Structure 1
C-alpha cells in the first residue's frame, strides 16, 4: 500500500516546487538569505518510516536559513556560467571567475531517473528509488573540510546556498536551478585551478587523464601513502561512493624529472549515509553491499570500498601493511574530540545540529577508536590479490621467493638514459602468502623482462602478462606442491620464454591477454 501510494507521485510532482518554506510569497529583491528546506518531500508518516526507514528525513524537511546565491558577488569579481555538468542524478554546472578558476554548482537533492532502465522510470519503483535519497545527510559535505584539514588530506570547501526562483544570472542553467538548494565549491581540475590546497603543483587532472599517463611513462608515480590516508578518512566518514570520477590528482616535481601525483577527493555527497533502518531498505542493504550505513561500528569494509576498487587496486599496490596501521594511528591523534565537535557544529545548520549533531559526534568518536581495526581489514581485503603494472617503457620485474613468508617483487627501469642513472628502482614490496594469494604483473608495451627465482614451500601465485612487444620470461623458482605457481599469459610467438618446473604456459594464438584497463572505461 505504501509503495502504491508512493507510485502516485509523478515525475513532475515528486519534488518540492521550491525550497523556500513560504515560496508563495515573492522573495524581496534585496534579500541575502532565505528560509528553506533541502527536501520536505522526503517527509513520511509512521508507516512510511517503518517500511522505507527514517533515514535523514527530519534533516531534509527541517527549515534552515541559507544565504541566497548571487553570482555577481559570491566570489570577488563574480561567477559566470561555463557549461552544464553531466551527472546522472545531480543537476550540476561549472562556473568560472574572472581569473579562469572553475567552480562546481550542484543541487543537493538528487533525481535517479536517468540511472534506471526505461521500463522502470515510472510507478512505485521510481518513487521508491527516489525516496532513497533521504538516506544521505543533506548537509554532510559541509562537515568534512575541517576534518580533512586535520587529517592531512587535500580537499575542497563547499558552501550551501539557495537559488532564487527568479534567478537569471546562471546563464542557460538558470531555469534548472531556480528554487533549489545548491552546493558551491572550487573545482580542482586543470592548471588554472592550481592554488589554495594544491599550490605548488605542476599539474592538476582527473583520474581518467592521469592513469593513461601513468601507464605510458615511468615519469608518473601515484602517491600510495597519501591515497591511503584519504581512503581511511573515507572509511571513517562512511563515504562509500568513491569511484574514479570522484578524484582529482595534483602533480608534484620529484628528482629525476618525475612527477608524484597526490589525490584530491571530490564530491562528499554520501558521507554519513544511513540506509538500513527500514524494513525494505534493510532487505536492499543485504542485496547491495555498497549501501553501508554510518553508525558507531563499521559495517562491511568490502561494501564501503566496492565503488573505489578500480582506483584502490592501482593506487595501493605499493603500500605495505605497516603503513596502514601507522596511518590509522596518526589519524586517531589528529582527529581529536575538539576537531570533531567543532566540525560538526560549524558544518551543520543549527536546526539540523539539534536533530543530528550529538549522534553524529558520538559515532565519529566511536569509529575513530576502531579505525586501526578497520584499516587492518582494509589491508587484508586489498592485499588478497595485488596488481603491479609497468608502463609502455621497458622494465625488469624481479620476483624473489625468499622464504615461506616473504616473496619480494621489484620493478626496475631499463630506460636509464631517460630517467637518470642510479634511480632505476620503480617499485618494491614484500608479500606474505598468508595475506596475498595472487600477484598479477603487467608489463604493458615495451620490451620487458620477468625473472622469477627462489625455492620455497609457500608463495603467492605469480601471473605474468607480458603485453605487446617481445618480452623475456625466465623462471628458475620452485614451490612445494603439485600446483604450478607461475603462469605466463601472452601470445604464443615473439617472446623469449625460458620456463622452469614452476611455470605454466598460458600463451595463446590471440591477443586477449594484452587487454589492460588503463582508465576504468573497460569496466
Structure 2
C-alpha cells in the first residue's frame, strides 16, 4: 500500500536530519556468539547470530524497513571452523580477497582445488566516496545489508541441481575468536559467521559427471570469444540459469558473478553462477526504501509476484546482450516451462530445509509460498524478459574476417547471418556462426559490430517494415553493400566507420554515419566501458 503523502514528506525530513549526523561508532557486533567468554578448546558448535546490530526500534523499522532484521538477530547453532579442521581436510591459507563489501579469502586444498571463505555480514563503506564515509550515510548504507537474507545461498544448491545449473555447495561455520590459522586474514575473520564453498575456477576442476574441465572468468572468455570465431557461449543453458536467477529474485548478476566451463575442446562456454548474496532480497518494507525503490528499479523485493523484470535484470544487461543474442522467444518459453516441471514442491521444501531450524520457523513457509507462486508465473515473466532483450539486439563479430548478411525477407521477418571467412574463402562462402530471424513487432534495432578483420556487410530486400540495422565496421578495411528498401520515413541502415579506407556502396536506405575519428566503431569487450 502506498504511504500517505504527508507521511512520506515527514520521513524524508527525518532522513535528511539524520543524514547530517556522524556515522555510528561500533556499528558491528563484537562477536557472533551471544557471550564474550573465552571459547574452550575443542568446542564443536556455538550459538551465534550473523548480525544482532541490525535489530532496531519501531521507528527505525518503519522508516528504514524491517527487512530480515529478525533473521540476522536470531541465534542459531553453528559448527566451529578452526585450524585443526582445515588441516584435516588439507586446506591451507591462500590470498586475501573481498570486493567492496565482503571479507573473503582463498583456502588452498589438495589437487590444486581452491575454496572461498566469506563472511555472511558485509561492510559497504568502500562503496561510498571518502567524504561520506564519516557521515550518517555510512550507517544507513551499512544498515541496508539487513535487506539481504544471510542464509539464502545455502538454499540455492538443491534448486540449481533440479534446474540442471552447475553450482557450488556452501557450508556454514563460526570462526573462533582466538583463531590464528588463517594467516594475515585471521584477525578479520575472528568471531564471525562465514560460509565455505569450493571456487569453481581453474584448469582441472571436477564436474558432477566425473570429467574435469577448465573454468575461466567472464573477462577471459569474452577476450577469447572476440579474438577468433572458434568459440561460442552455450546460450540456452545460460537462458535457463538466468530464468533461475529471475525466479529467485537474484538481481545482482553482473559479469563478475559468473565463471565459465569449457566444453567441446574449449569451443563452448557454459555458464556457472556464483555469489548468491541477493537471493530473496527484501527492501521496500520501510518508507524510505519504498521511495528509493521507485527510483532504483534494481532494488526489487522478493514477493509472490515479479515486481519489475527490467529492474531484476538491469545489472546483467551487459552480459545478457552478449550471451542471449541468439535465443528465440520459443526457446525462452521452453526453458521456463521446463523449469516449472523440475522445480517441484518437494524440491522447494527440501531446499528450504537447509535453513537453520530457527530461521525456517521465521521465513520457511513464506518463502515456500512465494517460490510456488513465482514458479506458476515464470513463463509470463520469461516472456517479458525476452521482449526486453529482443527490443535491441547486439551481434558482434571477431578480430578475424566475417561476412554479415541482412536479408529483409518480409514485413514480419528479417534474417541476420554471420559467416566466418578463412583467408582462402570466397565472399559467398564461409562457415555459418550466427543466424536469427528478427520480427519488427519485437525488435526495433539490430547492432552489428565487425570488430577486427576485413568484414563484409550486405543488406538486401524490399519490405514495408523492418528493424533498423546499425553497422559498426571496425579498425580494418570494411565493405558495406546496401541494396535494401523499406517503405516509410527514416533510414533503416546506418554505417558507422571512418571516412577513409572503407568500401561504401550505399542504397536508398543507407545513412552515412562515418566520421574522421575511430570512436565511431568503439566496442566494449569486457564491461569496462560502462
User: What band does the TM-score fall into relative to the shorter chain?
Assistant: over 0.9
Query: Relative to 1, partners in 2 of residues 1:198 and 1:188: Cα closer, same or farther, differing over 3 Å?
Result: farther
Pick one of 253, 265, 270 that aligns with 2:273. 265
Query: Does the CA contact (< 8 Å) of 1:64 and 1:351 recur in 2?
Result: yes
Query: Does the CA contact (< 8 Å) of 1:155 and 1:197 recur in 2?
Result: no
Runs of at least 5 residues in structure 2 that lack an aligned partner in the other structure: 1-13
Query: Relative to 1, partners in 2 of residues 1:198 and 1:508: Cα closer, same or farther, differing over 3 Å?
Result: farther
Pick one of 277, 284, 297 that aligns with 2:285. 277
Cα distance in 1 between the residues matched to 2:454 and 2:102:
45
State the partner residue of 2:256.
Answer: 245
> 1:251 is paired with a residue of what secondary structure?
strand
Q: Deviations over 1:359-403 (max 9, x none)?
A: 000000000000000000000001100000010011111100010
State the partner residue of 1:331.
Answer: 339
Offset, 1:71: 4.0
Query: Does the CA contact (< 8 Å) of 1:72 and 1:78 recur in 2?
Result: no
Query: Is 1:424 the counterpart of 2:437 in the alignment?
Result: no
Normalised by the length of structure 2, the TM-score is 0.94
State the partner residue of 2:385.
Answer: 378
> 2:267 is paired with a residue of what secondary structure?
strand
> 1:73 is paired with a residue of what secondary structure?
helix
Q: Deviations over 1:336-377 (max 9, x none)?
A: 0000011001x2100000000000000000000000000000
Pick one of 228, 236, 254 that aligns with 2:247. 236
- 1:503-522 equivalences under 5 Å are 503-522=510-529
State the partner residue of 2:4.
Answer: none
Offset, 1:514: 2.7
Query: Does the CA contact (< 8 Å) of 2:32 and 2:51 recur in 1?
Result: yes
Pick one of 106, 111, 126 that aligns with 1:114. 126
Q: Deviations over 1:473-492 (max 9, x none)?
A: 11111000120100000011
Runs of at least 5 residues in structure 1 that lack an aligned partner in the other structure: none
State the partner residue of 1:36.
Answer: 48
Query: Does the CA contact (< 8 Å) of 2:74 and 2:358 recur in 1?
Result: yes
Query: Relative to 1, partners in 2 of residues 1:319 and 1:516: Cα closer, same or farther, differing over 3 Å?
Result: same
> 2:260 is paired with a residue of what secondary structure?
strand
> 2:272 is paired with a residue of what secondary structure?
strand
Pick one of 429, 435, 440 that aligns with 1:433. 440
- In the alignment of these two chains, the number of paired residues is 515
Cα distance in 2 between the residues matched to 1:476 and 1:486:
10
Q: Deviations over 1:413-440 (max 9, x none)?
A: 112779xxx9811000000011000000
Query: Is 1:195 the counterpart of 2:202 in the alignment?
Result: no
Pick one of 124, 138, 142 that aligns with 2:150. 138
- 1:40-79 equivalences under 5 Å are 40-74=52-86, 77-79=89-91
Pick one of 311, 317, 327 that aligns with 1:319. 327
Provide the aligned C-alpha RMSD in A: 1.9
> 1:68 is paired with a residue of what secondary structure?
strand
Cα distance in 2 between the residues matched to 1:431 and 1:171:
56
Query: Relative to 1, partners in 2 of residues 1:3 and 1:477: Cα closer, same or farther, differing over 3 Å?
Result: closer
> 2:337 is paired with a residue of what secondary structure?
helix
Pick one of 27, 39, 44 that aligns with 2:39. 27
Offset, 1:5: 7.2
- 1:92-103 equivalences under 5 Å are 92-103=104-115
State the partner residue of 2:163.
Answer: 151
